[in-house]
Amino acid sequence: MSTKAILRPVGRWLGAGVGLAAASYAAYVGYAWLRYGEATAATRPEEQDALMDRFIPKYEIAERHQIRVDAPADITFEAATETNLQQSPIIRAIFKAREWIMRSHPAGRPDSASFIAQMRGIGWGVLAEVPGREIVMGAVTQPWMADVVFRPLPPEEFAMFDDPGYVKIVWTLRADPVGSTRSVFHTETRAVATDGMARAKFRRYWSLLSPGIILIRWASLRPLKADAERRAKGRTYVDSRWTFRQPSSSFVADSSREDRGGRARSGAWADL
């Protein structure tokens, strides 16, 4: 069989795949355009967020995602705040695609690998925080600009901000405990325009680019879950190295130690 005969059906399949992807994208753009402004409040108690309600109680778009994690809430939250999105090839490709579509300048390398540090570095501000459980970030911006600028505001000013030509955006990272060893990670994004002109521009932007924005959320959930569960196993391993022996006050270590003179000691340390 000739090379042309082999490549011809491959080319047809590739063309069909590209056509299907283009049609699917066009359908989603139309759906997002029609659905814009119809975001509804969360009805399930676990999806409701009183902290976010303080800053954008009514909104035009809302995206909510969650995943169950076999790790305590504090570890899940820590992993979420320290995640590095640049480690994902999919997410890097989405950022590059936005640069190409919007003709924006390439973003510089972040000064920190920590997600929250990166977000603060580009202009997002902390609006509210529950240590070890939740953080709410916010900014006012014009997302349709090629080189978008995020402007932080003090929490007491954010809710009242109504300068024309902007979009107010808040998002949260939250870990809710499920017992002592499991949790549910939540992330939610809300946005509302300050006037009609900004709303028209943002509606067009959201319709065209929201698939990438949503894909970033999805692509980050599984690595976050894996990282949190790895951290939890590491903590469990460290904690399990020590067992308490009753009724005495002694405790036992599962590995040898050295005394202050450098001599190896057995596992038992009595009445310290």
For the stretch 154-197, pLDDT in tens is: 999 999 999 999 999 999 999 999 999 999 999 999 999 999 99
Q: Which residues pair with 257 in a beta bridge?
A: 265
* Measured distance CA(36)–CA(270) in Å, rounded: 68
Residue 223 lies in a domain: yes
Tens-digit pLDDT profile for residues 75-133:
999 999 998 877 767 777 776 777 777 777 676 665 666 889 989 998 999 999 999 99
Residue 172 lies in a domain: yes
pLDDT recorded at residue 43: 83
Residue 54 lies in a domain: yes
pLDDT recorded at residue 2: 59
Parent domain of 33: 20-237
Q: What's the 3-state SS for 62-127? A: EEEEEEEECCCHHHHHHHHHHCCHHHCHHHHHHHHHHHHHHCCCCCCCCCCCCHHHHHHHCCCEEE
Residue 151 lies in a domain: yes
267 and 254 in contact (C-beta within 8 Å)? yes
Residue 227 lies in a domain: yes
* Measured distance CA(136)–CA(178) in Å, rounded: 21
Per-position DSSP letters for the chain, written without gaps between them: --HHHHHHHHHHHHHHHHHHHHHHHHHHHHHHHHHTT------SGGG--HHHHTT-SS-SEEEEEEEEESS-HHHHHHHHHH--GGG-HHHHHHHHHHHHHHTPPPPPPPS-S-HHHHHHHTT-EEEEEETTTEEEEEEEE-TTSSS---B---HHHHTT---TT-EEEEEEEEEEEETTTEEEEEEEEEEEESSHHHHHHHHHHHHHHHHHHHHHHHHHHHHHHHHHHHHHHHHHHHHTTEEE-SSSS-EEESS-EE-TTS-EE-SEE---
**Of the given ranges (20-29, 132-141, 191-200), which has the lowest mean pLDDT?**
20-29
Residue 247 lies in a domain: no
Question: Tokens in use for 88?
Answer: 């994902």
What is the percent of the chain with per-residue pLDDT over 70, rounded to a whole number?
72
Number of domains, the chain: 1
Confidence category of residue 39, pLDDT binned at 50, 70, 90: confident
Alpha carbon separation from 122 to 112, 235, 241 (Å, rounded): 11, 33, 42
Identity of the residue numbered 13: W
Residue 245 lies in a domain: no
pLDDT recorded at residue 8: 59
Q: Does the predicted TM-score (pTM) go above 0.85?
A: no
Residue 14 lies in a domain: no
User: Residue 29: CA atoms inside 13 Å, Cβ hemisphere, count?
Assistant: 10
Which residues, in sequence order, are CB contacts of 56 under 8 Å at separation 6+?
Answer: 138, 159, 168, 170, 190, 191, 192
pLDDT recorded at residue 161: 97
181 and 168 in contact (C-beta within 8 Å)? no
Confidence category of residue 234, pLDDT binned at 50, 70, 90: confident
Residue 135, phi then psi, degrees to nearest 5 = -140, 135
